Amino acid sequence: MTSVPILSILVMLPLVAGILALFQSANGARWNALITTLVSLGLGVWLWTAFDPDGPQWQFVEHYKIGSGVAWAMGIDGIALVLIELTLFLMPICIGASWRAIDKRVPEYMASFLIMQALMIGVFTAQDLLLFYIFFEGGLIPMYLIIGIWGGAEKIKASYKFFLYTLAGSVLMLIAMLVMILKAGTTSIPVLMAHDFDPSLQWWLWLAFFASFAVKMPMWPVHTWLPDAHVQAPTAGSVILAGVLLKMGGYGFIRFSLPMFPEASNAFIPFVYALSGIAVVVTSLIALAQTDMKKLIAYSSVAHMAFVTFGLFTFNRQGIEGAMLVMLSHGLVSGALFLCVGVIYDRLHTREIARYGGLSDNMPKYALLFMVFTMASVGLPGTSGFVGEFLSLVGTYAVSSWAGIVATTGIILGAAYMLYLYWRICYGRLVHADAAAMPDLDLREVWLLGPIAAGVFWMGIYPESFLRPIRADVGRLLERVERAAPPGDAHFTAGKPAATPAHAEAH
């Protein structure tokens, strides 16, 4: 193990660079942000190679006492690691996507993004309950500014809705945290993860945490802030919102709700499944009816996140690993889809689907990459979407057949709205002259979308790279929640041996 405080560096570097950016010119801030995010990504790659998947649960641990009751405690397990990698991977792309699209108040914009990055990394690395809360809530302010300053026509409403919705969800979690600190006498997340709370208390604590994570996730019916925020946010804001911020909800469930309150989690399975099932069907249908591209993708996010909640509350390996993969995959794919929207929005300045059509004629490169991400979102085998959704559905089916059936309709509906979107934008005739005049992707845009496409295929073809770091941690989580695991309703019976074929071989 190394003694370099790598996690603190990952938090502090963008923070310092962000403050510096405020005093720079527009171009200086752009380059500063790009270099900082690329250096962070480099550190992230090093972190990935240095992380030992068979090592102790918590690695790169740092602990400095700040004062009574809170410590600068950092450390990651595999689950946090992959989410950090996702964040670090998306950040340079966000900066690149804003290179030309943002032309007013650039230094403040870049500073907001860099500070945002610091806070997101902080959420995934914090090992102190209150430190986690500070990072978790702290992210609201830069995002509020990003939506409110550089957003679309109804940015004010969207920024308030985003802020107050998430804040209202989270404050109850703070009270629950205080109760936990009182009962367990510690603020250390690893210690709390092994603490057995009284089941009747767990019930309340679980609900308080659920209020926060469900809003963040977002789950039906508290998802209504998301379409507004996505539609109004600038492209890079949408990417980071869909790519990372939504994952904080899933991370919260896996880090807090499941290991800290296993009995309560079990008791609430029907509730979570009901909300997730409604989300899959209802928001998919809503997505089908959208005429605004960003809104469609926003609703598809809600539907995809329902696969995560389905998977997490299965209490089995397939479900939880599948949920993790769905989160990673959705982070890449929805980010890429928002970028695809951004590409044509920058050219035509409208998100109306009907204003496009036939783009595969004049923008073949764009059509190809958009196709890749559409298929990944649908869950085509070979892309990242398939692996996660498949595992998550297998896990769900093992617990409840009905839930599995409802969840699977999401795949069909997902294919319907995504292919319908793709058809309306890329196929057909080039009827609009202004859409026909749009140039194909330039080099910068290829560099934004290309790496994500590579990631999508990597995760689809060799998911082991991403499952390996989380395997041991999912194992530990399963051990922890085993006592509350729900019995499945599928009863497997051994099949009767068929008549032995003449040349039977062992499979």
Partner 1 sequence: MNLAPILPELILTIGSIVLMMVAAFLGRRGSALCSWASIALLLGASIALAGEPSSAGMLFGGQLVADGFGAFGKLIIYLSAAVAIVMAHNWFERDFEHGAEYPVLILMAAVGMSVMVSATSLVTLYVGVELNSLAAYVLASYRRTDERSAEAGLKYFVLGALASGIMLYGISLLYGFTGTIQFEGVAAAFAREGTQSIGLLFGLVFLLAGLAFKISAVPFHMWTPDVYEGAPTPVTALFASAPKVAAVLLGVRVCLDSLAPAIDAWRQIMIFAALASIFLGAVAAYGQTNIKRLLAYSSINNVGFALIGLVAGGPAGASAVLFYMAVYVVMTLGAFLCVQRMRDENGEPVEAIDTLSGLAQTRPGLAAALATFMLSLAGLPPLFGFWPKLLVFQAAVAEGFFSLAVFGILGTVIGAYYYLRIVKVMYFDAPAQPYGKGQGMVEGALIAIAAILVSPLGYLLIGPLGDVTNRAAGSLF
Footprint of partner 1 (CB under 8 A): 22, 65-70, 105, 108, 119, 130, 133-135, 137-138, 140-141, 144-145, 148-149, 155-156, 159-160, 163-164, 167-168, 171-172, 174-175, 178-179, 181-182
If the CB atoms of residues 151 and 243 are measured against partner 1, the closer one turns out to be: 151
Structure tokens at 99: 């290179």
If the CB atoms of residues 151 and 322 are measured against partner 1, the closer one turns out to be: 151
Residue 138 and residue 270 in contact, taking contact as beta carbons nearer than 8 Å: no
How much helix, strand and coil, in percent to the nearest 5, is found in the chain?
75, 5, 20
CA distance 102 to 84: 26
**Rounded least distance, CB 108 to partner 1, Å:** 7
CA distance 323 to 31: 36
**Rounded least distance, CB 204 to partner 1, Å:** 9
The kind and range of the H/E element at 326 are helix 317-348
In order, the DSSP letters of 379-412 are T-TTSHHHHHHHHHHHHHHHH-HHHHHHHHHHHH
Neighbour count for residue 106 (Cβ, 10 Å): 21
Phi-psi region of 379 (alpha: psi -120 to 50; beta: other; left: phi over 0): left
Residue 480 and residue 265 in contact, taking contact as beta carbons nearer than 8 Å: no
Exposure on the CB side of residue 302, measured as CA atoms within 13 A:
33
If the CB atoms of residues 67 and 495 are measured against partner 1, the closer one turns out to be: 67
Residues 454, 455, 456, 459: what is their CA dihedral angle, to the nearest 10 degrees? 120
If the CB atoms of residues 163 and 313 are measured against partner 1, the closer one turns out to be: 163
Burial class (CB in 10 A: 0-12, 13-18, 19+), 383: buried
If the CB atoms of residues 130 and 453 are measured against partner 1, the closer one turns out to be: 130
Structure tokens at 309: 């909640």
**Rounded least distance, CB 296 to partner 1, Å:** 27
**Rounded least distance, CB 123 to partner 1, Å:** 11
**Rounded least distance, CB 51 to partner 1, Å:** 27
**Rounded least distance, CB 145 to partner 1, Å:** 6
**Rounded least distance, CB 383 to partner 1, Å:** 37
Residue owning tokens 């209802």: 282
Structure tokens at 211: 């209020």
Q: Nearest to residue 30, comparing CAs of 88, 108, 85, 90?
A: 108
If the CB atoms of residues 134 and 184 are measured against partner 1, the closer one turns out to be: 134
If the CB atoms of residues 135 and 209 are measured against partner 1, the closer one turns out to be: 135
If the CB atoms of residues 85 and 108 are measured against partner 1, the closer one turns out to be: 108
Radius of gyration, alpha carbons of the chain? 22
**Rounded least distance, CB 66 to partner 1, Å:** 5
If the CB atoms of residues 147 and 441 are measured against partner 1, the closer one turns out to be: 147
If the CB atoms of residues 225 and 366 are measured against partner 1, the closer one turns out to be: 225
Residue 159 and residue 232 in contact, taking contact as beta carbons nearer than 8 Å: yes
Neighbour count for residue 217 (Cβ, 10 Å): 30
Classify residue 486 by its DSSP letter.
P
**Rounded least distance, CB 138 to partner 1, Å:** 4
If the CB atoms of residues 50 and 179 are measured against partner 1, the closer one turns out to be: 179
The kind and range of the H/E element at 362 are helix 359-362
Q: Nearest to residue 123, comparing CAs of 114, 136, 141?
A: 136
Q: What is the residue type of 45?
A: V
**Rounded least distance, CB 137 to partner 1, Å:** 4
**Rounded least distance, CB 468 to partner 1, Å:** 34
